[in-house]
Structure 1
Amino acid sequence: MTSSSGKRSASYWRERSATLPAFVSPTPEVALQHRASILWAPKEELPDDGLQDYLQFAYTNYSIEEEQALYILRQQSYDLTLARDRLASIETARGCRFCRWRAKDLLHICKALKKHGVDYEKVGKGLPHIPIADMRSFVKFMKVPIDLI
């Protein structure tokens, strides 16, 4: 700053100003790709009729909805025959027997597991109508450490 006027001249600011680069628009491929589309990226193009048959087979035979069936297909590297064979052995959340439990029971089990740990005898005393083996498989199915429940 100059002591006489306290202001700087316009040429001073022009010399020190930054020049902005020209706007570069994103390429069309990047602009069209949505985050959700990254999940579905088969290496080869899948036939539409084969994909529709797979989805129909999953729903009619195993009550597996489209999103779950597509996720299973993705896990099997987009191989339709392998995914169709795998459908029988996969237990989805909808077909899982724990979904038939009442919400009160699930809440009670989680609280008891937090309190007693994996002592299923103590956990089962509060819910005698639920077998201990089902409680064990519930903990394995959920794959959650007891201390996080």
Structure 2
Amino acid sequence: MKATPPTPHQAPEQAPDQPPGQAPEQASGRQARPADPARLLTAVERAVTARLTAALAEADCTPEEWRVLDLLADGQGHPMTEIAEYALLPPPTLTKLIDRMVAANRVYRRVDDADRRRVLVLLAERGHTAHRRAADAAARAWRTVTDALGPEEAALLSALLARATTRLT
């Protein structure tokens, strides 16, 4: 059975203890409100991020550090603007994060050989080690999401979010 995402005018999925055809608000006597996609996305993001944060804490890493480590794991080196975009961080926040990661010997900065005006950030050896630990933790966190949603719905969610990101950004 394929799940389809609710449209903005559909009520949320039926709670197990609700009579069929009744939204939770209807069961308590209040009128059902249409689903708010922005609110639903925020709720899902918070739930997934909470799982990711807890798993990454065991690897001594934050979700923001994880995003940086994951991008830099390709070994190519990336400029700060690209890292900020990928990590979803404003440039000043990223600069502080990279400074902390440099101090922890997880990353280092190097002038770009192709364009001496640019500085690239690369993983140091400790960064590679941190990336391996964090990757395992992130995979465990995603497995908890997949277990909660089921593999088909987790894959559908990922595909829909990727498509929406491409189309809306």
TM-score tier (shorter): under 0.3
TM-score, structure 2 as length reference = 0.21
Q: Whose radius of gyration is greater, 1 or 2?
A: 1
Structure with larger RCO (C-alpha < 8 A, sep 6+): 2
Relative to its length, the structure with more strand (as a share) is: 2
TM-score, structure 1 as length reference = 0.22
